Amino acid sequence: MAIIVDEKTKVCVQAITGRQGRFHTRQMLDYGTRVVAGTSPGKGGQEVEGVPVYDTVEEAVDKRGATASIIFVPAPFAKDAAFEAIDAKIQVVTIISEHIPVHDAMEIMAFAAQRGVTVVGPNTFGVISPGKCKIGIMPNRIYIPGPVGIAARSGTLSYEIAYQLSSAGLGQSTVVGLGGDRVVGLDFVDCLRMLERDPETKAVVLVGEIGGSAEEEAAEFIKGMTKPVVAYVAGKSAPPGKRMGHAGAIIERGRGTFAGKIDALKQGDAAVAELPSELPALVKQALERV
């Protein structure tokens, strides 16, 4: 098992002929992901890294049976790309693109909800079930299969944490990047719900940051979970009113503070790490209790 993606997932790369699309198609193929098609309007009939290119996602679904897509399309055209994937009955749409207008993101999420489609991102590094399938831009070498599910709002910090866990022999079932934007598809609660049901997952690591209320909602959900959750939240020293790199990482009108999130998570019975390097030990302890 695993969540969201596994060895059966067939991936279509939207904007496969671009620099990023081409590079990450190679990386995903190297990882063993079944990249079955790519799209690039007007470039149907070409091949990229041996993967057939189509003009539309519908063709990629009809001819190659794509079930998931990854979007590298630049922000101004990303809404169109996401709607195309959802309309073509793609089940999991991962949006890597950054700087998508938040109104576009709201429209994408409304359409996806209407069609029952899972959206990961935007502004995410993607999702990986180690040893099975990687849809994203994360490095190939830092993950090993195992019992820890990870849901994270930020890319590199989650790489760092996955790497530390892997180095300590703690493998991962699925690692999900929620994305750094204010409006994203999957949130912590969605991930926790799926990881709670996933037989392979024995413990969960939540990597949060200041801004919004996703951690507070997660804390509420954790109260009803049987699996242990270990959390780390970045941004303790962040001043209010400043965007810390991510559009969603901002303390506004007294909301989204570090202290509020830590309090909520502790009340929700999550173990809270003060430093990222404390996570492997806390995860080990949590797994021993299972």
The residues assigned a catalytic role are 246
Instruction: Pick from 223, 236, 240, 267 the residue near another protein by CB under 8 A.
Output: 236
Type of residue found at 227: K
Q: Per CB under 8 A, does 238 bind another protein?
A: yes
Please tell me whether residue 152 binds another protein under the rule CB under 8 A: yes
Say whether 101 sits in a helix, a strand or coil.
coil
Measured between its terminal Cα atoms, the distance across the chain in Å is: 19
Minimum distance of another protein from residue 86's CB (angstroms)? 13
Among 109, 144, 225, 287, binds another protein (CB under 8 A): 109
Closest approach of Cβ 78 to another protein, in Å? 10
Positive/negative CA dihedral, 146, 122, 221, 213: positive
CA–CA distance, 260 with 262 (Å, rounded to integer): 6
Q: CA nearest 179: which of 86, 38, 82?
A: 82
**From residue 58 to residue 97, what is the string marking binding to another protein with x (rule CB under 8 A)?**
-----------------xx---------------------
Residue placing its CB nearer to another protein in the complex, 113 or 168: 113
Q: Report whether 290 contacts 230 (CB < 8 A).
A: no
Q: Which two tokens stand for residue 158?
A: 């989650």
- Asked if 29 interacts with another protein (CB under 8 A), we say no
Residues in contact with another protein, shown as a per-residue x/- string from 40 to 59 under the rule CB under 8 A: --------------------
Per-residue x/- mask for another protein, residues 118 to 147, rule CB under 8 A? -------x-----------xxx-xx-----
Q: Judge contact between 201 and 161, C-beta under 8 A.
A: no
Backbone phi, psi, residue 266, to 5°: -65, -45
CB nearer another protein, residue 1 or residue 259: 259
Minimum distance of another protein from residue 59's CB (angstroms) = 27
Q: Give residue for tokens 């409006």.
A: 183
Rounded-to-integer distance, Cα 102 and Cα 104, Å: 5
Query: Exposed, middle or buried: residue 39 (CB in 10 Å: 0-12, 13-18, 19+)?
Result: buried
Q: What angle do CA 56, 80, 152 make, to 5 degrees?
A: 105
Among the listed residues 46, 56, 91, 213, the single contact to another protein using CB under 8 A: 213
Peptide bond into 122 cis (omega under 30): yes
Q: How far is the CB of 181 from another protein (least distance, A)?
A: 8
Residue 154 is a binding residue for another protein (CB under 8 A):
yes
Write out the binding residues for another protein, residues 189-208 only, by CB under 8 A. Answer: 207
Q: Which residues bind another protein (CB under 8 A)?
A: 27, 75-76, 99-107, 109-111, 113-114, 125, 137-139, 141-142, 152-160, 163, 180, 182-185, 187, 207, 209-210, 212-214, 217, 232, 234-239, 242-249, 253-255, 274-277
